[in-house]
A and B are shown apart, each in its own frame.
Chain A
C-alpha cells in the first residue's frame, strides 16, 4: 500500500509539472464545450441564396421581395440564371430560386401548375434540405397571403412537442457529447501515452524489476489519471450548467457515478493500447483511431446509432462512449432514470473488464 502511494505520488507530480497534460485537462475542455455550444450547429440560418427574376410583372417582384424579407435567407438578386449557376459550384450560394418569365401566366391559370423552380447545392444534403424547405415555406406563405393557397378540407394538423428539450437547442444534446470526448482524451489518450512511454524508454523493465507488482505499477499509473478525469468532468459540468445554461435535470451524484464508471473502460482502453503498441507513435495513432474518432462519430451524439447499418451498430457496442453519451444526455435533460443508468453502467463495466482482461493476457506473454 505504501509502495502504491509512493508510485502514485511520483506520477501525480509528473503530471502537475507537465504543461501539456494540464493543457489537455483544463484548457481544452472549456474550448471544446464552447465550440460545441456556439460553433457546431446543424441549425441552418442566414443561408446565402440567389433569386433570379426573369419576369417583370408585379407578382414576380412581390415574390422576390418576400424572399428578400425572409429572416433565414440572405438573398443575392439576379436577372439571369447564368449569373448564379457558377456561384452554386464555387459554394458562394447554397441555392437559388428562378421566377420564370411566364410566372404570372401560370399563376393565373390556377390548376396547380409549376410556377417557380428552386435549385439547391446538394453537395451538403442537410443544408440543401433545410434551404429548400425554407424557400418553399416562403413561397406558400406568399401564396396564402394573396389568397391563392390550398382550399377545401383543412386536413390534418401535426402538433409536435419535444420532451426534455422543448426549445430544441442543439447545444443541450451536444454538450454531453463534448464531455464524452474530453473524458475519452484524458482516460484513453493520456494513459496510452504514459504507459507506452515507459515501454519505449525501457523504464518499464526497470519498474518490473523492482519489488512493486504489475498490479501496483498499473494502479499507480491509473489512479492519478482517474482523479484528473474526475476533476475535468466536474469542471465541464460546472461550465455547462453555469456558463452555457444547460439544465441539469438529474442529480449531481448520478452524474459523478456515471463519469467515474466511464473512466473504467476509458482507462482500460488506454492501458490495452499501450500494451499492444509499446511505443508512443503507435499508441497515439491507435488512441485517435479507436478512441477519439469513435467517441465523436459512433457514440450517437452527432449521428443516430439506430440509423447505422447493422454491422456498424454491432461495432458501437464496443465503444464505451456510446453508453456514456446515452446516460449523460439523460442525466442532463431528462433526470435520474435509474434503470437506464444501471444498464449503461453495467455495459461500461463489461467493456472495461474485456479491455483489462485482454491487457492482462497480453502483458503476461510479454514478460516471458
Chain B
C-alpha cells in the first residue's frame, strides 16, 4: 500500500512542478501579496487632507491651526471661506474633514468659557474619520491643558498609566502581516485541494483512479499530501517574509508554530476535499471554495476581532480552522505563547480535520457503489 501511495504522491508533485506558471503562482504570488497587502492594510491614518473654516479673527484659532497643520498625519490643509465651498470639497472626497472655528472662539478661550471647535467629517470614510478625530481631539486637549496650567488654582488631576503589551507602539502591521501569512497559506491549500479531485473528474480520469487498485483512502491521501506540502511551504515562506521583510519580532517557538501549521493545513485541506468530492467540474469546485472561503475569512478575525460579532456567530466561527490558527500565529509572533495555550487551539483543528476528511472519504466511497 505504501509503495502505491508514494508513487501516487510523487506523480502529483511532478505534474504540478512541471508547470512553470503554477510554480510561480504557488511561491512568487503569495510573497508579493504579503508584501503589498501588508503595506496596504493599516488602520493608522496618514496623509490626511483637511479643510479649515475660520470665522474667528483671534489668536487662539491661529494657534490651533498651526498645531494641526504641523501634525505628522496631515498632508494638506485647505483654507476655505464658505460652508458651500466646503460642502463641495467634502462631497467630491477632496478632503476627509473640516475644522470650523466659530466667530467667538478666541474670545471664549480668553474669557475662560468652554470654546467650541466644530469638526465635520465625511461619514463615508467613517474609520479614517474617527481615527483622525481622535488625533485632533488630543491636540485640542493638549492646548486646553496648557491654557489651564496658567490658572493659579489649577490642580493636576490623577491619571492612569497605559502600557501596551506585546506591541508597545501599536504597529498595525504587526497584527496584519502574520494574519495575511496565515490566510494566504489557507487560500493556496484550499485551491490546490479543491481542484485535485474535480479536475480528474472533469477530465474523466477519476473513473480510471476508481478502478485502479487504490482504495478511496489512498486516493484522498495521495491528493492530500502534495497540497499539504504546498500549504506548509507557503506558510513558512510567508512567515519568513513577515520576520525578515517586515522585521516583525518573533518571540515564540518555531517548533510550536510549525507543529501547529501541520494540523491547520490538514484541516483546511479537509474542508477543500469535501467541496472537491461534491463538485462535478473544476468550475463548480472553485466556486464552491469561494463560497466557503470568503465567510471563513470574514468570521475568523482576519481583519476585525471575533469578539465584536454576535455570540451565535462566534459559535459558528469555532468551526473555522483559520480562527484557531490566527490565535496561534499572533500568539507565536508577539506573545511567546506557551505550549498549553497553543494546544488548546490545536485540538479544534484536529477535530475539524478528522470530521472533514472522513466526510470526503465517504463521498468518494459512495461514488464507488
By a beta-carbon cutoff of 8 Å, the part of chain A in contact with chain B is 18-21, 23-24, 27-28, 31-32, 35-36, 38-48, 88-91, 94, 97, 106-107, 110-129, 132-133, 135-136, 139-140, 143, 148-166, 168, 170, 172-173, 181, 185, 189-190, 193-194, 197, 277, 280-282, 284-286, 288-289, 292-293, 297-298, 302-304, 306-309, 311-312, 315-316, 326, 329-330, 333-334, 337, 339-340
Contacts and interface: CB of A to CB of B under 8 A. Distances in A.
A39 B313 contact: yes
A110 B115 contact: no
B158 A181 contact: no
Given A117-B163, A155-B145, A281-B191, A123 B154 contact: no
Contact of A158 (B36, B136, B157): B136
A292 B287 CA distance: 12
B43 A303 contact: yes
Given A28-B291, A28-B294, A114-B161, A126 B43 contact: yes
Contacts of B283: 18, 20-21, 193-194, 197, 280
B195 to A, nearest CB: 5
Contacts of A302: 41, 127, 303
Given A297-B41, A333-B123, A128 B160 contact: no
Given A110-B155, A154-B112, A165 B126 contact: yes
A166 B123 contact: yes
Interface stretch (B236-244, B263-271, B331-339, B357-365): B331-339
A18 B281 CA distance: 10
Contacts of A297: 37, 40-41
A286 B24 CA distance: 11
Contacts of B21: 277, 282
20 contacts: A38-B310, A40-B298, A40-B309, A44-B308, A89-B335, A91-B341, A111-B156, A112-B159, A117-B163, A121-B166, A149-B157, A152-B154, A156-B114, A157-B116, A162-B126, A193-B282, A194-B283, A281-B195, A281-B199, A307-B47
B174 A123 contact: yes
Contact of A280 (B140, B168, B282, B313): B282
B163 to A, nearest CB: 5
B177 to A, nearest CB: 12
B163 A116 contact: no
A151 B154 contact: yes
B121 A298 contact: no
Contacts of B29: 285, 289
A193 B288 CA distance: 13
Give the bracket for the number of chain B residues in contact with chain A.
Answer: 35 or more
B160 A115 contact: yes
Q: Is the interface of B mostly helix, strand, loop or mixed?
A: helix
Given A136-B162, A280-B195, A333-B123, A162 B129 contact: yes
Given A122-B168, A306-B47, 16 more contacts: A24-B291, A36-B298, A106-B158, A122-B166, A125-B172, A149-B157, A157-B116, A160-B133, A161-B120, A162-B122, A165-B126, A189-B287, A289-B29, A306-B49, A330-B124, A337-B92
A150 B148 contact: yes
A352 B164 CA distance: 46
Given A117-B161, A303-B43, A307-B45, A155 B123 contact: no
A331 to B, nearest CB: 10
Contacts of B290: 24, 28, 185, 189, 292
A47 B143 contact: no
A261 to B, nearest CB: 18
A115 B158 contact: yes
Given A156-B140, A280-B286, A340 B93 contact: yes
B214 interface: no
A157 B281 CA distance: 63
Contacts of B331: 89-91, 123
Interface in B75-105: 75, 90-93, 96
A170 B112 contact: no
B305 interface: yes
Contacts of B205: none
A143 B161 CA distance: 15
Nearest to B119: A160
Contacts of B119: 158-161
A315 B199 CA distance: 34
Interface in B1-47: 21-22, 25, 29, 33, 36-37, 39-47
A155 B158 contact: no
Residue from the set B129, B134, B154, B337 with the largest chain A CB neighbour count within 10 Å = B129
Interface of B: 21-22, 25, 29, 33, 36-37, 39-49, 64, 75, 90-93, 96, 109, 112-130, 133-134, 136-137, 140-141, 143-145, 147-151, 153-168, 170-172, 174-175, 187, 191, 195, 199, 279, 281-284, 286-291, 294-295, 298-299, 303-305, 307-310, 313, 327, 330-331, 333-338, 341, 344
B83 to A, nearest CB: 12
Contact of A42 (B114, B127, B333, B338): B127
B36 to A, nearest CB: 6
A155 B118 contact: no
Q: Which 9 A-B pairs have the closest CB atoms?
A: A155-B144, A112-B156, A165-B123, A122-B164, A152-B154, A122-B167, A20-B284, A152-B151, A304-B128
B294 A32 contact: yes
Contacts of A107: 158
Contacts of B113: 154
Q: Indicate the member of A153, A157, A280, A340 with the most B CB atoms within 10 Å.
A: A153
A46 B310 CA distance: 10
A143 B22 contact: no
B160 A114 contact: yes
Nearest to A169: B126
A51 B260 CA distance: 32
Contacts of B120: 160-161, 163
Contact of B115 (A156, A189, A280, A315): A156
B307 A155 contact: no
Contact of A120 (B49, B123, B154, B163): B163
Contacts of B134: 133
B93 A326 contact: yes
Contacts of A117: 160-163
A31 B299 CA distance: 12
A153 B151 contact: yes
Contact of A284 (B43, B286, B330): B286
